[in-house]
Structure 1
Amino acid sequence: MGKQTKYIVVSGGVISGIGKGIIASSTGLLLKTLGLTVTSIKIDPYLNIDAGTLSPLDHGEVFVLDDGGEVDLDLGNYERYLSVTLSRDNNITTGKIYREVIDKERRGDYLGKTVQVVPHITNAIQDWVERVGSVPTSESGRTPDVCIVELGGTVGDIESAPFIEAMRQFQFRVGHDNFCLIHVSLVPVVGAVGEQKTKPTQASVRDLRGLGLSPDILACRSAHPFEEGIREKLSMFCQVSPKQVFSVHDCESLYHVPILLQQQGIIDVLTDRLKLNALEIPQEIVHEGEILWSQWREFARRRARDLDQTTIAIVGKYTYLADSYISVVKALEHAALNVNRKIKINWVEASDLEEMTMHKDPLKYHEAWQHLCAANGILVPGGFGERGVEGKVLAAKWAREHKLPYLGICLGLQVAVMEFARHVCGMTNAHSAEFRENCEMPAVVFMPEIDRTTMGGTMRLGSRPTKFQDTEFARSCKAKKLYGNADEVHERHRHRYEVNPEIVKELESKGMHFVGRDAETGERMEILELEGHPYFVAAQYHPEYLTRPLSPSPLFLGLLLASSGQLEDYLNGADLSAEAETKLKM
């Protein structure tokens, strides 16, 4: 029998959106600093098969994995914090579980039995968790020591009931020493005197215990650290030791949450509860964990310092919910802190930049242009649907004409091509077939192999190789240098439309170079760079999906370097970390 993986289940109470994902990711990071191999699973109780068809305004960003899985944004947190590569199986939904059970029933696998939620659905959940929790990680090739399972939703939700019951059974399947439950709850501040209230957490734990699960750790979200007596009160009424109650109050940044938990002793509690000392970990791996923790604390410390500020305008169409672009925001933060800058984001709703009409709010129009003009750099992220497209075209035009650093992602590349075709190449009617199906001059066309009949999972998805071209411009372009002069890079994609290959020669003759193309055919445009511009780069793929706090995405790094006036020095080999250390010590 192989090694038994230990499981940490993270549940939530009182309200949703309380921060279970960050607490789960932070716990996993702390375990990694001990040298343990960690993986994670996110359970989403909705009936969708995956997150691919969900609106970003309803559920936040759709995160894409190497294997093309379209999943919940929390898996992005796991990959960033744990530096692991997850698969679509690491995201469980009710839809996936029911589909698996119904497929078995149709094949006759249940031998005529009545198929029920208990035991068939709950067994399928347990089998899935155990199967994924024991898959060796692609980074180390080792079977995970610990698997973090985040249970989406709130305890008491109808949708969550089968998963709660599955976890109740699962604790006995894997054994007491291999199962730990962290319950994340809210300690609100109520009244004029601002008193912290424990009743919501007490009620939430009571509900959880009534369903057969008892928390081993309480992680209590609050605006401020615990007042005197709150920890003891929670301990008494929730039947946990005071040392198992953690205050996860608002702090300088999310990068400080692991430090907050570590300072309160969560590693000791987990080590004792899961008998982690019994695990045999090679000394060199323990040392790697110590280095990781030192680097993380330094990174968080830099985030808290008063650094010079760089302003980036994000021109999007889901700007009312920042979670719609959470990976983009994280990629900017990671790049900024690695070049010793603090990032300020100007959110610009793309449609507000468009031409004034009698129906448009003049205040929003002028504010949008003010935010764009005040920025040090412009970023146009991906998106679907026609709303705001002309505003994105105007942002690309402004960046090109005013030599302002520009990074376009997916649709951001396509609008840059449309703008250049219209205003530089004289193709005044250039548009995208996504928004003008029968336009006279399609600068962007539908990819021939894509299925038009189904919405979910039919795009060009997942990790694909991009090859830098062997041309005079491409060999010395900024994008190639930022990637360490690599000949080929692997990045994640999510799109149905591409640059029309028939107009590429004309675009390149006027100075828009497609320095990176797909490695398979060489006919799909992946990276463009503008000649004679300080930094005008766009990618058909989504570089934000592979950003890491200690290893930022190269194209985002380029945007921040260009926007803060450091790009040329960096490309010429200057050591920016020396400047960072000097400023941090001041």
Structure 2
Amino acid sequence: QIHVSLIPDMHGEQKTKPTQTTVGVSRGLGLLPDIVACRLLGSDPLFPSTKAKISMFCHVSEAQVIGVHDVSSVYHVPLLLEAQGIVEYFQKRLNLSSLNIAKPMLDRGDVLRRRWQELTKNQERLFDEVSIVLVGKYTALKDSYMSVIKALEHSAFRCRRKLKLQLVPSEDLERETLDTAPVKYHDAWRALVGAQGVLVPGGFGLRGTEGMILAIKWAREQNVPFFGICLGFQVAVVEWARNVLGLAGANSTELDEATPHPAIVFMPEISTTHMGGTMRLGLRPTVFTPGTETWSKVRRLYGGAPKIWERHRHRWEVNPEMVEKLEASGLKFVGKDEKGERMQVFELPNHPYFVGLQAHPEFCTRPLDPSPPFLGFVAASCGAQVLEEQAEWMAQNFRPPHPQDAMVSEPELIKRSKGLTSTAEADAQPYVNGNGNGVAVSPTA
């Protein structure tokens, strides 16, 4: 048991009474702490005298008392805990020293530790900034985009840049806002045109989508790096249909059922009335189109792999009847499902970085291994040279973040979820969440 307790600082004196009381109450309930983690609100570490006092009155050894004070970044916390002997304590408490750990595993651990130390050290030496604007529907609550923000952070670390992120409500970019709230309108556009990269994340519903389309149009025409995720992918296709193909009124049927030019449609196997358990969910494969290995930036960022896996969560898709027109006009769908029927990744050649994914790659980012399309987006926002450097590195070093047994075909996913005996049976099933309860098919997905 790890007992976390606040250590108030009263005029420079660290108070232990709250910790003594809460540990005493826990012990009375039969809960004996293995570690007492002392949270300090400030940069001062836990004083030795305070640690000794907690040890004496809480009946634990000093090795079991760990101080956790404020640090410049949460990524410093593991090293802070290690410096206070928490690893040695766990080895002793869990009898880990009796295990025969293979040398390759120990070597991987040492490499991971060194890489983590380098990450935290480099964080303190970030002088250049990269300015990104996130144009979204739910910007009032920053945590709505927590995974996206972390993916941007991880990518900025790799590019050795400090992330300067601005969240812009997509509604504020719309013409109507100029009449109702001109200050918001001008502030939103000022943020957009001053950014080095434009990201449009996922979402649902009509509100704010016209503002997203305006932001995408600006990024495309001004050669500013753009990255669209899920809804961002879909409205980028709508923007292209309207402004490049000249299809006035083109839209998604999610946003306008009566659109004369449906660029985005409900997936045919999805119920239009029943919403529960009907999404296309979980880890799904994407197959890159042959020939894209010679020019596609996003494929290169995935190490040139012919097939990748990312997590999905959607009900709509690019209208198959419009794909030929879209590609003929220059928007290339470089990644599709295994049947080649569902468009999952688009890319615009001859643009610094104009990429969209139907999937949510932010769910699989890691501090030391940023998501490839996010890394490409941030690198392109830093400049063409940085993008080239990162693409070259990823071409040699990309490793999928998923467990090997989770990277299977869609028929195999359906076979597992429905208990079918063969993939031939599964191949005849619709490619949606096979268990019908709105939960991803595989626990590892």
Partner of 2:416: none
Q: For 1:512-551, what aligned pairs fall within 5 Å after superposition?
A: 512-519=331-338, 521-551=339-369
Structure 2: stretches of 5+ with no match in the other structure: 397-445
Structure 2 CA distance for partners of 1:272 and 1:360, relative to 1, 3 Å:
farther
The equivalent position to 2:86 in structure 1, one of 255, 266, 274, is: 266
The equivalent position to 2:128 in structure 1, one of 301, 308, 311, is: 308
CA-CA distance at 1:525 after TM superposition: 0.7
Conserved? CA contact 2:4–2:36, under 8 Å: yes
Structure 2 CA distance for partners of 1:474 and 1:239, relative to 1, 3 Å:
same
CA-to-aligned-CA distance 1:259-304 (integer Å, 9 cap, x gap) = 0100111011111211111112112211221111111111111112
Q: What is the aligned length?
A: 393
Structure 2 CA distance for partners of 1:346 and 1:239, relative to 1, 3 Å:
same
CA-to-aligned-CA distance 1:316-374 (integer Å, 9 cap, x gap) = 22223332222212221222222222221111122222224477433222222222111
Partner of 2:327: 508
Tell me the SS of whatever aligns to 1:365: helix
The equivalent position to 2:264 in structure 1, one of 444, 449, 458, is: 444
Partner of 1:295: 115
Tell which deviates more after alignment, 287-296 or 333-342: 333-342
The answer as to 2:64 corresponding to 1:247 is no
Structure 2 CA distance for partners of 1:388 and 1:234, relative to 1, 3 Å:
farther
The answer as to 2:370 corresponding to 1:552 is yes
Conserved? CA contact 1:407–1:559, under 8 Å: yes
Structure 2 CA distance for partners of 1:357 and 1:367, relative to 1, 3 Å:
closer
CA-CA distance at 1:226 after TM superposition: 3.7
Amino acid paired to 1:487 = P
CA-CA distance at 1:537 after TM superposition: 0.5
Partner of 1:388: 208
CA-CA distance at 1:400 after TM superposition: 0.6
Tell which deviates more after alignment, 380-389 or 357-366: 357-366
Amino acid paired to 2:389 = Y
The answer as to 2:6 corresponding to 1:186 is yes
Partner of 1:365: 185
CA-to-aligned-CA distance 1:421-453 (integer Å, 9 cap, x gap) = 111111121111222233322211111223455
Partner of 1:6: none
Separation in 1, partners of 2:227, 2:6: 39
Conserved? CA contact 2:7–2:15, under 8 Å: yes
Conserved? CA contact 2:330–2:348, under 8 Å: yes
Amino acid paired to 1:500 = N
Tell me the SS of whatever aligns to 1:552: coil
Conserved? CA contact 1:558–1:567, under 8 Å: no
Partner of 2:77: 257
Tell me the SS of whatever aligns to 1:343: strand
CA-CA distance at 1:391 after TM superposition: 1.7
Conserved? CA contact 1:414–1:498, under 8 Å: yes
Q: For 1:67-466, what aligned pairs fall within 5 Å after superposition?
A: 181-189=1-9, 193=11, 196-224=14-42, 225-226=44-45, 228=47, 229-357=49-177, 360-452=180-272, 455-466=275-286
Partner of 1:483: 302
CA-CA distance at 1:493 after TM superposition: 0.8
Amino acid paired to 2:347 = E
CA-to-aligned-CA distance 1:207-226 (integer Å, 9 cap, x gap) = 43343322111223332234
Conserved? CA contact 1:377–1:404, under 8 Å: yes
Separation in 2, partners of 1:455, 1:207: 47
Conserved? CA contact 1:570–1:576, under 8 Å: no
Structure 1: stretches of 5+ with no match in the other structure: 1-180, 578-586
CA-CA distance at 1:197 after TM superposition: 4.3
CA-CA distance at 1:380 after TM superposition: 1.0
The ranges of structure 1 where at least 4 consecutive aligned residues each deviate by more than 6 angstroms after the TM superposition are 574-577
Higher relative contact order (CA 8 A, sep 6+): 1
Separation in 2, partners of 1:188, 1:449: 58
Structure 2 CA distance for partners of 1:384 and 1:572, relative to 1, 3 Å:
closer
Conserved? CA contact 2:3–2:37, under 8 Å: yes
Separation in 1, partners of 2:22, 2:275: 38
Separation in 2, partners of 1:457, 1:207: 44
Conserved? CA contact 1:312–1:375, under 8 Å: yes
Amino acid paired to 1:383 = G
Conserved? CA contact 2:289–2:335, under 8 Å: yes
Separation in 2, partners of 1:205, 1:446: 56
Structure 2 CA distance for partners of 1:216 and 1:319, relative to 1, 3 Å:
same
Conserved? CA contact 1:413–1:538, under 8 Å: yes
Separation in 1, partners of 2:274, 2:82: 47
Structure 2 CA distance for partners of 1:268 and 1:399, relative to 1, 3 Å:
same
TM-score (norm 2): 0.82
Tell me the SS of whatever aligns to 2:175: coil
Structure 2 CA distance for partners of 1:358 and 1:301, relative to 1, 3 Å:
closer
